[in-house]
Chain A
Amino acid sequence: MIAAGIFEPFGYQFFNNGLIVATLAGALCGLLGVFVVLRGMSYIGHGLSHAVFGGAAASAVMQLNYFVGAGIWGVASGVIIGRIARRKLIGADAAIGVVTTASFALGLALLNRYGQAKKSIEAVLFGSVLGVETVDIIAVSAVSVLTAVIIFALYRHFLFATFDPEVAQTSGVRVALIEALLMAMLSLTILVTMRVIGTLLISALLVIPASVARMTTNSFARMLWVSPLIGAVSASLGMYLSYHLDTSASATIILVGTTMFIVVYAFTGLRGRSRIAHLHHV
């Protein structure tokens, strides 16, 4: 009886689809989150997800494919943010604030004017496991594989450009290209995970696993597998609990991640706290 209850959600296709996408999304966000957290770009996940919302709205209104419309929009926003931030005339946070909130506002206005506003907005803001289709699984899998291959293949370029961009540049690393790649991967990740996790909560999935991983290790290489593991575990556990607790999947995933953060923060003691304290933007 109890066993039947435990395995009950796995009897539904929608749940299994959602679980696969959420687990992959957790791992993917955990992997990219390492760069987001160490580069002090925590706000960027928040911003980019808002920018992609604009693209999602525009593609809905123009009856374009969601992945094509929102994808182009998101990648373009990411590249624009990167370019503005590199000029250093204004900070990266201000660049993100301007580009992404403008995009979000435009999306909102388009949906108000032309779309079925309420339903679309809620689905995009908070995500939904009900709408997960095979195409979502393929999209998240493809982006996960692509991201892992790029980071694995260009590992030292990413490490060098993240730790010491100035010296990396003088040593022949194409820092601008690495940053553009990172922004493109981040935009694609948000694009393919947004329908499940939602615009408002995706930035937490980028920040929490990497922050937890940072407290547990002093090695960049180890962080790159610990963080995705934490992301995948919190996402799958959150999905599972959300079924039994009858709560929003994305909110439960974030709450599981936050619980992990609190537990690790408490158990790693002063050393862990000092590491996380230096990530002042988290």
Chain B
Amino acid sequence: MGSILRIILQRLALGVLTLIIVSLVIFAAVNALPGSFATAILGQAATPEAVAAMEQTLGLDKPAVTRYFSWLFAAVQGDFGTSLSQANFASFAGSVADTGVTVADTLAPRFRNTLFLAGLTALIAVPVAVTLGVLAALYRNSAFDRATNIFTLSSISSPEFFMAYVLILFLAVLNPWLPSLSNISDDMTLGERVRTSMLPALTLTLIVTAHMMRMTRAAIINLLASPYIEMARLKGMSPFRVIVKHALPNALAPIVNVIALNLAYLITGVVVIEVVFVYPGIGQLFVDSVKTRDIPVVQACCLIFAAAYILLNLLADVLSIISNPRLRHPK
């Protein structure tokens, strides 16, 4: 088990390094955008003096390198700074830090919502995808296999908003079972939240199932020519048992990796779905912040996205190792 711990620590260290590089790239990219926060807020007609005064107040006039490092040091200590766009600009001559809303305060509820939606989707999508994949492998080349493939492929090939509207049409408009607006709030009970978020979760399920299901099917079928699968058949085991007991445990690594990638997508890539269902997640906040050049929020979002990818991939690696007896029990 010592080796697994070492691998985890190694990956974590690499992950931190990746995060730092990501933050640099993001910072450089945002700085390269034309216009600044001040021009975005004050409008095209703002006098150069007003822009300069605002930039000075916010510290935007300092060199980029200085700004980057002061932000980095604060971020390392857990302080992601103050959201520029949420500051009280009626009196922007005053100290922004006193009246502003911190990035952490802005992000935290949004991030919780995003995690909630991603978690709910995963709870539905992962079991459905793996089960469909196993069944498709079991009844490969049958009508069921083809139908599942066609259905999942067409749902992943259609634009996300289209899938969303189709579901709204059938599950909210024609049959008023679920609310089409998913503006969840903190004062809802868990049940209400689940019900309110069900439509976006179902839409996302349709989008992420295809990858996971097809990988499950392919990984299992890939193993069916193995001598140990033939051995299981020659021991008189049922086709279902051959697949679930003999093929699936050896096919876990690629499946887990695709699941991790899809979960990361659920955290970082669902802005269209959030817009369609008015879901208060982190994606919308991110897009708004880019629009207003709210650099601290953009950077914090990017770091969260990068961290989600790194952690989920790390988790996938660890699960792959645990699923492989050769690595779990060295000779």
Mutual binders A and B: no
Q: Please report A residues at the B interface, Cβ cutoff 8 Å.
A: none
